[in-house]
Amino acid sequence: MEQKIFYVTVGGKTFTAVFADNPGADALKELLTDGPVTIDMEDYGGFEKVGALGQELPSSNSRVTTQTGDIVLYQENQIVMFYGSNAWSYTRLGKIEDLTGWEDALGSGNISVSLSLTEPHL
């Protein structure tokens, strides 16, 4: 069975996300088979967190209007997680399923986010 979900852990809370259907999301899924990836993220614009992935993923950018919970790729090597909305050219990687507590977990300022294929036991 193909893995369709991944986990995003931030601020001691874990959220379930669904992978998008594109080569960038497939590459992220492949990267996560080696274990969790932690990304240090900064607040940007009052509607998103952005952080360097440390490597490039394939992009299939298109102009999209993001919504809270969207996880996208920017410039092939930046992960962006939204708690607001923006219109820009991105590659969709995934979407948080249940947004309960998402904005609070992202908080303000810099954060550390972990992405994994298995649910962490906190």
| Residues 94-111: tens digit of each pLDDT | 999 999 999 999 988 899
- Is the pLDDT at 54 greater than 70, yes or no? yes
Using the structure block, give the residue that is written with the tokens 């972990």. Answer: 114
Multiple choice CATH, 5-116, 2.40.100.20, 3.40.50.620, 1.20.140.150, 3.40.140.10: 2.40.100.20
In the chain, where the domains are located: 5-116
Contacting residues for 40 by C-beta, under 8 A, at least 6 apart: 51, 52, 110, 111, 112
| Residues 73-86: tens digit of each pLDDT | 999 999 999 999 99
| Residue 54 falls in which region: left (phi positive, over 0), alpha (psi -120 to 50) or beta | left
pTM for this prediction? 0.95
Strands (E), the chain: 5-10, 13-19, 37-44, 48-52, 62-65, 70-74, 78-82, 87-96, 111-116
